Structure 1
């Protein structure tokens, strides 16, 4: 059974708050924590199985190579396929099998992991300016994803983008990929048609 304990500690016996070890993820904290005023926080977390934390919950600094290895692991094979594209600035093409083999592109840029999927050409919208205005207003209804316009071979396309910290857990990256795939399919099927019908 999972257990979380919080105890007060003297200021001299605890590390400064900005130096606390990163051993807790939101997925491992199950109990509310109450602190008395002026108390430091020390947490002890044990997994429900009594063993080490899942590799999916381990924070790390990602590179394209590490992401390719982690996402290409056998346990993810039924859900997605990963391949590297490009050589100068390598990008991963992740095919989401549970979402109609939708392609999502993954890159590492500075302190971020960027995931994106092309939607459809801007010039296919009868009134692109009105649709763009509509997208800006509807943005808050689309969880974890942002709309953008990108140029591809001289043609502008709508694109759905998600961004994560380079230190995100693999579990968080998988959640982002699934959310982006779901949102892209919803945008293509519902959002585009709803606007066209209005």
Structure 2
């Protein structure tokens, strides 16, 4: 990930919620079986459209691209595929490459308050990662860690961990796929990770210090 002082995901969640409200959207919680997660994500995108307008390519369900996945993704080939995908072409995602000892792709998720998502490709694995917040943003890290271990299964396809980010011990959320995965599955993982960041702030926000909580978040 890039050097400098990165922002906590709570900041991006705040921006995401502000944009949703400005668009006239309202938040509704739903309970579904986990196997319907992909269908719900597609339905949510459709329901964000203004009635009577055409569904955009960015909100249409992604199609499998098994032919593209056959040789196995490299960072350059994945970058090219993402840059030519409807989600990027429509402006929903920006793709940037960060050079260094371990080059990564940095995706700016426009529909999620400009949340940055980082992608690394190494060996047979693709890792999709988001910075959540520094450890010192949590009021009781030991209690938080125990709570996450008990409840992280509620966040599909992602895991939380701790690693240094710009020299600061920080919580991250990540998911991984094989380099043989289809482009559709990679895009679904990216979108699921972004959705889980929002869900994570909702579920775990009461562990954060008051000064880093989204403004509309309240203590239970």
Same fold (TM over 0.5): yes
Contact 2:127 2:175 in 1 (8 A): yes
Measured after TM superposition, the shift of residue 55 of structure 1 is: 6.5
Does the alignment pair 1:56 with 2:68?
no
- Counterpart of 2:144? 131
- Counterpart of 2:164? 151
Q: Distance in 2 between matches of 1:153 and 1:87?
A: 14
- Counterpart of 2:103? 90
Q: Distance in 2 between matches of 1:74 and 1:164?
A: 19
Quick check: which has more Rg, 1 or 2?
A: 1
Q: Distance in 2 between matches of 1:140 and 1:55?
A: 26
- Counterpart of 1:186? 199
- Greater relative CO, 1 or 2 (CA 8 Å, sep 6+): 2
TM-score by length of 1: 0.68
Residue 80 of structure 2, aligned match among 65, 69, 90 = 69
Measured after TM superposition, the shift of residue 143 of structure 1 is: 0.2
Q: Distance in 2 between matches of 1:141 and 1:135?
A: 10
Q: Distance in 1 between matches of 2:64 and 2:172?
A: 31
The structure carrying a bigger helix percent of its residues is 2
Q: Distance in 1 between matches of 2:108 and 2:166?
A: 22
Q: Distance in 1 between matches of 2:93 and 2:137?
A: 29
Q: For structure 2, list consecutive stretches of 5 or more residues without a partner in the other structure.
A: 1-62, 209-218
Measured after TM superposition, the shift of residue 74 of structure 1 is: 5.4
Aligned residues: 144
Does the alignment pair 1:167 with 2:189?
no
Measured after TM superposition, the shift of residue 87 of structure 1 is: 3.0
Q: Distance in 2 between matches of 1:94 and 1:107?
A: 11
Equivalent position SS for 2:185 = helix
Q: Distance in 2 between matches of 1:94 and 1:102?
A: 8
Q: For structure 1, list consecutive stretches of 5 or more residues without a partner in the other structure.
A: 1-53
RMSD over equivalenced CA pairs, Å? 1.7
- Counterpart of 1:176? 189
Measured after TM superposition, the shift of residue 76 of structure 1 is: 2.3
Equivalent runs, 1:39-54 vs 2, <5 Å:
none
